[in-house]
Structures are given as structure tokens and as C-alpha cells.
A and B are shown apart, each in its own frame.
Chain A
């Protein structure tokens, strides 16, 4: 039931929470390279080195609630247990980069899951933030650049019925994994 795409959504929410105005998301799901994971780069409030080391500590959070299977410490633990790699680097007042690379053939590594729903969820709500999203698998690449979309829309609300339904299908189609 676990989906890395849900963890991605959670990590992107951190960037939004950090008041980022530009978020770059790279996702890979590549059989041949035996690699599954994502990278989220933002220009938000950033963290000090001390904060970064606390954040990867499983008992630390600035929130009062802890949800099993989520947050940066969980990803750290997942990477440790599956011979994968989590990198977190941050510069205060400048931005943060989180990169998670896991081995696709490890049985404890979750599947990507519904990445289209994750991207759609992000795009639907945060129209003042620019997203540059790039997906790569064995057979194709899909890029979703919210700046490009906004330019075309020229002030029209992305949540207008026909627009948002089109975006939904566009994302679904773009992320369709063609390996059978």
C-alpha cells in the first residue's frame, strides 16, 4: 500500500511550508538503472546545519504530530535499511535540496504509486508557486513546467472546469508507464 509518490507529496509540502516560490522536482523510476526515487529542490527559507542534522534524527520534528511512514527521518531510515541513499542539504534563507535514491529491486522499497495524483494535487493548489517537474523511466520522459502552462493560460484560472480536467488528463497521459 505504501507509495513513494505520497512521500513525495509530503516532502513538497515541506517546501511549500518553507515559502518557496520555485520548486524543482525530479522523479526517476528506472528498471534498467535499478533506481527509483526523487529530488526536490526549493528556494524556501532553508535551514541551518544544526537544523539539518536534527531533521534526519528520527525523534525530531517542529510539529506536534508524528505520522508513521512519513517525514524526512522515515526516508532516512528507509534508505538506510534498503542500501539506498538520502541526501539533505540546505542553506539558510536560500533553499533546500532533498534527494532520495533507492534500489528498485529491493523488496522493501515501495512502488512509486499514483504519481499523477501527486503532481495534480501540487499543481491544483499552489498557483503562486512555480513548479518544474521532470519524470524519467525506462521508455520516456515527461516534463511539466507550470510557468509554461501559466503563460498559455494568460491569467485564466487553472481551476476553470475545462482547464483543470484537461490538465488532469494531460498529466495522466504524460506519466503513463508504457512498459507492459
Chain B
């Protein structure tokens, strides 16, 4: 059974590491639409998968939530911003695709064209 005492120990670990990796961690911003349309379309498992995968692989990204991105029929939507604020928009994302986005885009800087909004708008 986990207790809040464990959390105190983890805090110290995190503190040590934080001073070292601050810069790299901000390489990407990953933003998930979590308004009603997103939630209804399945944004919750996507968010959970992204956060878990980023943490497990210590990927250089922060995962953020936002409101409606304005393309409700293409939800769940995940936007990836790089350091220059260049945006890649992934649409109709599910938990598996979310993991792949972390593995390829965040960890290897490879855009997954197949899942981007450009593919669906054509």
C-alpha cells in the first residue's frame, strides 16, 4: 500500500534531477484538447497515455491541457509545439497513437505524417 511518506522520498529525487534537466524538458509542448467535445471523443485515455509515456521514457516534453481546439469532429486532437513554436497537429488520436507520438516525435524528432491533420483535410 502506498503512503504519502513515499512521496517525500520521491520529492528529493525529483529535486536533484530537476536542477540538471530543466532546459531539455521544455523541448516540446504537447497540448491535448480537453473540452466537452474532446472528452466525449476519447481525450481522457489519450491524455493519460501521453503523461504516462512521457514520464516513463523521461521524454523532453511537457503535457498540457486546453479547451476546444475548434475541429470537434477530428477530436481527440494533440498539438505538438517545438522550441520555435512550430505546430504539428495530430487528429483522431487514441491511446496507442499517443504512445507512438511520444516514441517517434518527442524522442526521435520524427513527425508521423499519417496522423496529422493535413492527411484528413485533403
Whether B47 and A124, one on each chain, are in contact in the complex, defined by CB atoms closer than 8 angstroms, is yes
Contact, CB under 8 Å: A170 / B63: no
* A9 and chain B: residue at smallest CB distance: B39
Contacts of B35 in A (CB 8 A): 13
Q: Given the complex, which residues of B lie within 8 Å of A65, measured CB to CB?
A: 36-37, 68, 72
Give B1-45 as 1s and 0s: 1 = Cβ < 8 Å from A's Cβ atoms.
110101110110111011000000000000000111101100011
Interface secondary structure of B, over-half rule: helix
Report yes or no: B8 in contact with A164, Cβ–Cβ below 8 A.
no
Of A51-59, A93-101, A130-138, A149-157, the stretch lying at the interface with chain B is A149-157
Please report which residues of chain B, range 31-78, place their CB below 8 angstroms from some CB of chain A when the two chains form the complex.
34-37, 39-40, 44-45, 47-48, 51-52, 54-56, 58, 62-65, 67-68, 72
Report the minimal beta-carbon distance from A21 to chain B, rounded to whole angstroms: 17
Tally of contacts, chain A with chain B, CB under 8 A: 102
Q: How many of A's residues come within 8 Å of B, CB to CB?
A: 38
Chain B contributes a number of interface residues (CB within 8 A of A) equal to 36
Contact A166-B44, Cβ < 8 Å, known A13-B34, A160-B17? no
Is the CB of A165 closer than 8 A to any CB of chain B?
yes
List of B residues within 8 angstroms of A9 by Cβ: 34, 39, 44
Docked pose: A149 CA to B11 CA in angstroms: 11
Chain B interface residues (CB < 8 Å from chain A): 1-2, 4, 6-8, 10-11, 13-15, 17-18, 34-37, 39-40, 44-45, 47-48, 51-52, 54-56, 58, 62-65, 67-68, 72
